[in-house]
Every structure is written in structure tokens, then in C-alpha cells.
Amino acid sequence: MSEHIHDATNVTNPEHAEHHIVSPLEYTVVFVTLLLCTALTVFAATLDLGVFNPIVALAIASFKGVIVILFFMHVKYQSNLIKMTVGAGFFTFLVLITMTLSDYISRAWGLW
Amino acid sequence: MKEHDNSILRLPDQATAQVPKKNFITAEDGLMSWLLTGDHKRIAMLYLFSITFFFFIGGAFAGLIRLELLTPMPDLVASDTYNKLFTMHGVIMVFLFLVPSVPATLGNFLIPIMLGARDLAFPKINLLSWYLYIIGGTLTLTALVLGGVDTGWTFTTPLSTHYLNTHVVTTATAIFIAGFSSIFTGLNFIVTIHRMRCPGMTWFRMPLFVWAHYAASILMVLGTPVLAIAIVLVALERTIGIGVFDPTKGGDPLLFQHLFWFYSHPAVYIMILPGMGVISEVISTFSRKRVFGYTAVAFSSVAIALFGFFVWEHHMFIMGVSNYSALVFSLLTMLVAVPSAIKIFNWAFTLQKGSITFETPMLYAFGFMGLFTIGGLTGVFLGSLGMDIQLTETYFIVAHFHFVMVGGMLMAFLSGVHFWWPKMTGRMYPEALSKLAAVVTFIGFNLTFLPQFILGYLGMPRRYHSYPPEFQILNVMSTAGATVLGIGYLMPVIYLAWSLKYGAVAGDNPWQATGLEWQIQSPPLTENFTEIPIMDHEAYDYEWLEHKTAHEVTTVG
Amino acid sequence: MDSATVNPQAEHDSAKHHHVSLPQHRHHFETEEQQREAGSFGMWLFLLTEIMFFGGMFFAYLLYRNWYYDAFVAASNTLNVKMGAANTAILITSGFFMALGVWAAEVRKKNLLVLFLILTTVFGCAFLGVKYFEYKEKFELHHVPGNSFDVSQFINPPLNAQGNATRPPLPPDMAQKTQLFFFLYFAMTGMHALHMIIGIVLLFWLMGRAQRGEFTEGYVAPIENFGLYWHFVDIVWIFLFPLLYLINLHPLAH
């Protein structure tokens, strides 16, 4: 029998995660990447990519958002609970967007 | 334990028993100690008083509505006054009573204790929640006093944005603020449940009451902000005329409705899930049996929360949405009924071969099971696209939601208040009177709302204060029922208040229930536990309870 | 098991590594680790509400951009892309300094923390300053929706030196819809700016406390959690910029 109380709910140290301190170097790399992506998105907007313009713009913005979340907001080094929470938030946001869109898109299909 | 008893109530010897001198109520004195408290139990009491106050205001409006509907002619109040009556009734009952009822009172009080924690994760935010609720409520009353709002609690556009000149912005602001109260309560619960369970308290050892609140809290956190943005946009549309809901400027009124119902449908699950949690606890205790299919009930709570996000358009079937999306949402609505049905089945199987007794909480619980089932089934009728075209905006809908919310949720709330009253106050309520009140409520409820199903089916529209004369007899029945119902609701206020001073001393565990809250004194200490417990048995473990009490010193009897 | 309650502290300390009990330790938490995790989790839940709140406006934008694409393009091209891009860079830099501030608190360097908080605030204020000039320009050009809105410049766009239209002219009813774009522009950037202002007020408060050394003795939660808020506001702008400013920079091409 171990010395300490069996902590079935792991409240004291969730997933025994060591508290990781993100270094200034990592932050700087992310920072520079973000600036480059900003320049890239402006540049891409000047090109005529037709229907791909908004797709590229949103893809770059999503990438920027993801690296801010993972590194500036430390989520990469946090517990699974935090990761799932972030996921749940964006999932619900997507539900709002797509399911409401389902009405607007299909209105134009006419009555049967 | 005598086998032939028809009650499981075990009170301590009243000649010698005393309410413990040191408890959370006596811990500190003075108004400020209550208004600035961080103690989740005190905050729960503050909420209990406030929501009871708003309940009776909302109830007064209901009384006036039913009074007007006694006669087919619009002879009691003017048309827009009538509109104000049902709007304020809806706003107060939904946002100021039903949404906070069980979570903010019973949830706040019990969740930390049930988990073996000393308090919720963020006590100051808990207090802030209550103040936001009070501010929202005061602002609602202000709107009322200034002249009221007559849009219906649903603020449907473009009526609310372009065609009415009442205090929409004030009421919208009030709801915005009250919404944050709800968000912070949910946030507190989620963090507490994830991170503050005592050692040994795994997810599947938690009482189902906690699971239900967890699911409801997710809805509070994710759904309420969409309501917030919807009413902010209404306020901007009214004040600046930005056109986002105005067809003449290119806007779409249905956009508001999508955003509004994206919250308001999950809101009905926010309202009912905590009540279902209460029912799980009560049915188990008064059948002396563990809840049948614990895992199914736990997962069904989460499933209701998840599916609840996918069905909101069923409130908009006649509003001009595309038929294709209506089809999809109708199908999804059928699906969302399944987890609720799973719960009813599980409760029924809990009852089977249990040792059932009929104390007041159990009476309310039986009322819940029957009335919620009826209400839920009528919801399935309404979810079916073809039926909904006929039944929506009639009294069928009114009956449907009153069955689930009043016959369901309010009964669950009363069941919970009676069940945990001895724990919260240390005093027992008078059983005979409370049973009478429960029966009166049940009779009054059915008399009020069953006729409304028929009225709706026959075509009487809702939100109208006059109707064809052939509907009068059913309306008179409904109003008579409402009077009886009102009496049924007044009685508990009176005898519960009476019991605070004159009720029997309850002792720690008058119902011989399982659960950590029944292992501590009544009323509990401020810090709940003298030592953090270690959970070493499953939920609803009556064998563990018997084993424990058998080893306790008892008086010779 | 005859007793359900045991004092876990005595047995637990021997297995736990030694830690100093901070003055900010709230006693309904068992350990600081628990308190810190709970605080962080709570802040993330609050940010979820912000996602859903802004989400409603993003949907409104998505809908009307689809319905009135030409109007949105024309209106979007009156925005100053250079200022918008500069603002994006400014806000990212502000976020960078905030992240460094969290690091400074974690490694207990008080003066660095205060410096980084100051830099975060400076860049945050710079962002708001640029926004002020943008709004001022919009006001002067009669692009603010309402009574002073001037729709004629969209029906008859200004001509360039060669006498060609600088942007495609819009039919009058589509030109009216540019007001919807500008409303959404002001609502979304305004709501964003409001969150920035709240953040800056909080930054001043945090700077004061940081200067007193409150966050460099092991208690970093307020800095960490404020950082989460600040980065979230940054992410909202990261999406607002391309959606509002970069819809279609060459509408004359097709």
C-alpha cells in the first residue's frame, strides 16, 4: 500500500503534468511567424486567386490563431482538459455557423 | 428499522434534540455578513429568497392573464396591457425564476458538499452571480414600472425592433445582465466538478444530481453568450437603426430568431436538467434503491446537453426558414427526446421492486414523472413538422411548455426544496400540510393546463386576450385550476417559513439517504466538513449506509 | 473502512514535494496547483463565452457578405489596408510582450515583468490610437451608418486620372447595403476595441501590483489568466483583419 492517499480524481496534479515554462525563444519564433503570416495574408490578398482568396485568408488566420493558442496561451503544454475545453468552444462556434447556414443556403433551393 | 413503516423519516428524539449551535447560519451575524459572504450555502439562501420573490410577481401576472381569459371579450385590460402581462410573465418566469431555480439554490448549496469540497471554485464570483441576478431583476422591475414591454418574452423581430415603442432596451439590458449571472454560476460548477472532487470521488461515484448540473452548466456557458449578442443587436437596431434585422435595409429578421433560439432552446434544458437531477436523488431515496442504470442516466444528461444544441430551429418552423433545414431540425428534434425518455425509463426501473414510501418529495417526484412525460410527448408531436404547422402559436404550445416547465421543473424544484429543507435549515416541515399542498398543486395544475391542450388543438391562438365564445368553458376551467394552483404554491411558503422556528429538529439524516451531504450536520458548518472525506463507496450505496449506521451508537429502543 | 474521513494532509506531505504556502492560497483549495489549474480553467471557460458572443456577429457578417458581396467589396475597399495591417502587427507585438510578461513572472524577474506589462499597454494603446484615426476618417468620409451616410460615392465612384472608375459602380439598392458592411465593421471592431479598453484598464491595475512584487513570488495566476484574455482579444482581431479589410482587393478584375 503506497504512502500517500490514492488520489483517484488526480486533483492535486492533473495528469502529473510538470509545469512547463515556455521560453522567450519559443515566443520569439512564434512572434516572427505571426508577423510573417500577416505580411503573407496581405500579399495573398493582392493576388487575384478568385474564389481562393477568402479560403487562403481564413486558412492563414486560422493558422495564426492556432499558434497563438498553442504557444502564447500555453495550451500545447496544458492538461487534456484544457485542450478539450478549447476544442469544445470552437466546436460549438462551428455548430452555430454551419447549422444556421443550413437554413440560409437551402432557402434558395425553393419549395421542394 | 421497522419494516412495516410507511415512512422512512427518522427524526431524533425531539425532547433532547437540538439544532447544532455552530452552523453556517449562526457563524456570523449581521446583514453585511450575508451580503458580502463567500459561503456557497449562504449565497444559495440569498438566491432562494430572491427567486421566490420573483416567482410570485411572475405568478401575479399569470393570475391576471387567467382573469382576463375568463371571458371571451377583451374586457379586463386593454390589448397592449395584455401583451405586457404575458411578456412580463414570460420574462420573469423564464429568466428570473426557472433558469436559476435549482442550480442557484440547490446546486449552489449542495454541489460542493456532494463532492466533498469546502466551497465552489470561485466563491467571490458566486456572490457576483447573485448581485448580477439582483441587478437584472431590479432592471426588469424598472422596465415594468416604467410601462412594461409587450413583445413577448421571445422579442421576435421585426416586431420588437421596428413596430413597438415599449421598454425593450431596458428589459433587454436586464436579461443581458441576468445572463451573466447564469454564465458565472455554470462556470463555477464546471470548474468545481472537474477539479475539486475529494479523494476517491471519481466521475462515476458522483450523485446524478451533480451530473445533471454539469450538463446544464455546459449549456449555460456555451449558450447564454449567443442570447447576449442577439439582444445587443436588438438594442442597437432599436437605438441606431443599423439594419441588421430590417428587411428594408437588407437585413433578415430571422437572423435574430436564429441567434435567440440558439440559446433559448438549450435554455429549456438548462431549466429541466437540474430538476431531473433532483428527481434522481429523490426517487432513489424513497425507493431505498440505487438508481437503475446510473451510467445511462449520467450519459443521457450529457447527451441532452449536446443534442440540445442541434434542434433550435424547431421554434421557427413557421417563420420562413427553408423547408430542407426544417426537415433536418425536425429529425434532430425527434432524437433529442430519446435521452429524456431514457431517464424516465431508468427512474421507473428504479421504482420497480423498491421499498416505496410517499413522503412529500416523492409525491412531487411522481407528479414530475407523469407530467413531464406528457409534456415531453407533446413536444414530440410539436417536433413533427406537419403537426407543428397546425399547433404552433396555439394554446397547445402553451400547455406543452407549462407541462414540462411547471408540471416538470417546478415540481422538481419543490421536491428538492422539501427533500433538502431539513439539511439546509436543520428543521423538518410539517408533513401532513406539505402532502396536502402537493396534492392541491397537482390537481390545480392539471385543471389549469389540460384544457389548454384541447384549446390549442381546437385552434385557440396564444397571446390573444379574446377568443371565440365556444372556447369559454375550457378557459373557465383553466382559470379555476389556476386559482387552486396558486393556493398550492402559497402553502409551502407559509409552512416552510413556519418550520424555521417551530419545525421538528431534523438531525443529520432524517431520510436515511446516501450522499455526502447527509453525513454532515444539519445545517452544515460553514466549512462543510471538519476533515475532507474520502469517498470509498459507490453512489446510492444503501448497503454501505446500513453498515455504517449499524456501527453507530444508537439509543436502546 | 469504518471511517469515511481521514486527514489526508499528514500522509500526503511526505509524498509531495515541499512547497511554500503562498499568502494568496485560498483555503477551499487543497493545493496551489489545484488553485492555479482551477483559475486557468475558469478563465478558459470565460473565453468560451467570448467565442460564442463574437460568434453571433461573425455569423451576421458571413450572411450579409454572401447576400451583398458587391456592396461588401466596395465598402471594404474604402478601409485603409496599410493601417489595418499595421494595427495587426501592433497587436501581435503587444501579445508577444504579454507572453514575455508571463515568462518573467514565472522566472520571478520583477522589473522585466513590469517592463513587459508596460510594453503590452503601450502597444495596446497604439492599436487604439490607430483605430481612432481610422474611425475619424470614416466619419469624415460619411461612412458612418445613419443619417449622415453618403451612398452616392458607391453609385458613382470617383474617377482616377485616366477617367476610369476606381471601383465598379453599384446599383442604388446594392449601394444601400454598404451601410450594413459599415455597421458590422463598427460593431465588430467597436466591440473588439471595448474589450481592449477593458484589458488596458486591467493592465494598469496589474502593473501596480506587479511593481509591488505581488506576482514574482510564485503567484502568477492573475498575469497568466490576463494573458489568456489578452491573447484571445488578439485572436479575434487576427480574424477581423482579413475578413473586414481583405475581402477583394481587385474587384475590377471580375
Position B140 scores a pLDDT of: 96
Q: For chain C, which residues make up each domain, given as ranges?
A: 59-245
Contact present, B519 and C4 (Cβ < 8 Å) = yes
Q: What CATH class is the domain C59-245?
A: mainly alpha
pLDDT of C113 > 60? The answer is: yes
Instruction: State pLDDT tens for residues B445-475.
Output: 999 999 999 999 999 999 999 999 999 999 9
| Mutation site, B323, B385, B531, B538, interface A, largest A CB count within 10 A | B323
CA distance C113 to C98: 9
Position B361 scores a pLDDT of: 96
Contact residues, chain A, for B330 at CB < 8 Å? none
pLDDT of B397 > 80? The answer is: yes
More confident residue, B471 or C161: B471
Whether residue C106 lies within 8 A of chain A, CB to CB, comes out as yes
**Closest residue on chain B to C149 (Cα):** B242
**Closest residue on chain B to C38 (Cα):** B191
Give the nearest partner residue to B310 out of A95, A109, A112, using CB atoms: A95
Q: Which three cell numbers stand for residue B438?
A: 402537493
Contact residues, chain C, for B190 at CB < 8 Å? 41, 45
- Work out how many CB contacts closer than 8 A connect A with B: 56
% pLDDT > 70, chain A:
80
Mean pLDDT, rounded, for C180-191? 93
Whether residue B252 lies within 8 A of chain C, CB to CB, comes out as yes
Position C2 scores a pLDDT of: 35
Task: Name the band, by pLDDT with cuts 50, 70 and 90, for residue B294.
Answer: very high
Instruction: State pLDDT tens for residues B102-114.
Output: 999 999 999 999 9
Position C22 scores a pLDDT of: 66
Q: Is B332 inside any structural domain?
A: yes
Across chain A, mean pLDDT equals 85
CA distance B152 to B463: 8
pLDDT of C155 > 90? The answer is: no
Cβ under 8 Å to A: B residues 482-511: none
Report helix angle B40-68 to B108-115, nearest 10.
140
Contact present, B179 and B227 (Cβ < 8 Å) = yes
- A33-61 per-residue burial string, b: 16 or more CB within 10 A, e: under 16: ebbebbeebbebbeeeeeeebbebbeebb
Are B197 and A9 in contact (CB < 8 Å)? yes
Contact residues, chain B, for A7 at CB < 8 Å? 199
CA distance C153 to C169: 9
CA distance B140 to B99: 15
Q: What's at C177, amino acid-wise?
A: K
**For residue C191, which of B258, B235, B262 has the smallest C-alpha distance?**
B235
Mean pLDDT, rounded, for B466-493? 96
**Closest residue on chain C to A48 (Cα):** C250
Position A31 scores a pLDDT of: 96
Helix, strand, or coil (residue B265): helix
Residues of the domain holding B87:
31-556
Mean pLDDT, rounded, for B390-397? 95
pLDDT of C158 > 90? The answer is: no
**Closest residue on chain C to B116 (Cα):** C5
CA distance B137 to B178: 7
Contact residues, chain B, for A101 at CB < 8 Å? none
Instruction: State pLDDT tens for residues A13-55.
Output: 555 555 678 889 999 999 999 999 999 999 999 988 888 889 9
Q: Which three cell numbers stand for residue B243?
A: 439594419
Are A65 and C238 in contact (CB < 8 Å)? yes
Question: First-to-last CA distance in chain A?
Answer: 69
Q: Is B24 inside any structural domain?
A: no
CA distance C75 to B95: 40
Q: Which three cell numbers stand for residue B80?
A: 397592449
Are B321 and A95 in contact (CB < 8 Å)? no
Mean pLDDT, rounded, for C122-136? 95
Contact residues, chain B, for A8 at CB < 8 Å? 199-202
Q: Where are the beta strands (DSSP E) in B323-407?
A: none
- In chain B, helix, strand, coil percent, each to 5? 70, 0, 30
Mean pLDDT, rounded, for B293-317? 95
CA distance C184 to C67: 14
Position B107 scores a pLDDT of: 97
Instruction: State pLDDT tens for residues B28-67.
Output: 899 999 999 999 999 999 999 999 999 999 999 999 999 9
Q: Cα B7 from chain centroid? A: 27
- B116-120, C165-169, C181-185: lowest mean pLDDT where? C165-169
Position B555 scores a pLDDT of: 47
Instruction: State pLDDT tens for residues C10-45.
Output: 333 433 334 456 667 777 887 888 888 899 999 999
% pLDDT > 70, chain B:
98
Position B43 scores a pLDDT of: 96
Contact residues, chain C, for A2 at CB < 8 Å? 15
Q: What is the CATH number of the domain that holds B198?
A: 1.20.210.10
Mean pLDDT, rounded, for C88-99? 96
Count of the separate structural domains present in chain B: 1
Whether residue B241 lies within 8 A of chain C, CB to CB, comes out as yes
Q: Is B490 inside any structural domain?
A: yes
Position B4 scores a pLDDT of: 52
| CB within 8 Å of C24: residues ≥ 6 apart | C219, C221
Helix, strand, or coil (residue B157): coil
pLDDT of A3 > 50? The answer is: no
Position C14 scores a pLDDT of: 38
Q: Is B13 inside any structural domain?
A: no
% pLDDT > 90, chain B:
85
Whether residue A34 lies within 8 A of chain C, CB to CB, comes out as yes
Whether residue B258 lies within 8 A of chain A, CB to CB, comes out as yes
Are A109 and B197 in contact (CB < 8 Å)? no
Task: Name the band, by pLDDT with cuts 50, 70 and 90, for residue A59.
Answer: very high
| Mutation site, A6, A81, A97, A100, interface B, largest B CB count within 10 A | A100
Are A4 and C81 in contact (CB < 8 Å)? no
Position A13 scores a pLDDT of: 53
Across chain B, mean pLDDT equals 93
Rounded alpha-carbon distances, angstroms, from residue B511 to B8, B89, B260, B463: 6, 36, 42, 44
DSSP B72-121: SS--SS-HHHHHHHHHHHHHIIIIIIITTIIIIIIIHHHHHHHHT-SS-S
The 3 state secondary structure assigned to B449-483 is HHHHHHHHHHCCECCCCCCCHHHHHHHHHHHHHHH
The distance of A76 to chain C (nearest Cα, Å) reads 13
Residue B100 gets the label, from left (phi > 0), alpha (psi -120 to 50) or beta, of: alpha
CA distance C166 to B316: 43
Are A38 and C12 in contact (CB < 8 Å)? no
Position A2 scores a pLDDT of: 38
CA distance B10 to B2: 11
Instruction: State pLDDT tens for residues B514-552.
Output: 989 999 998 999 999 988 888 888 888 888 888 877 776
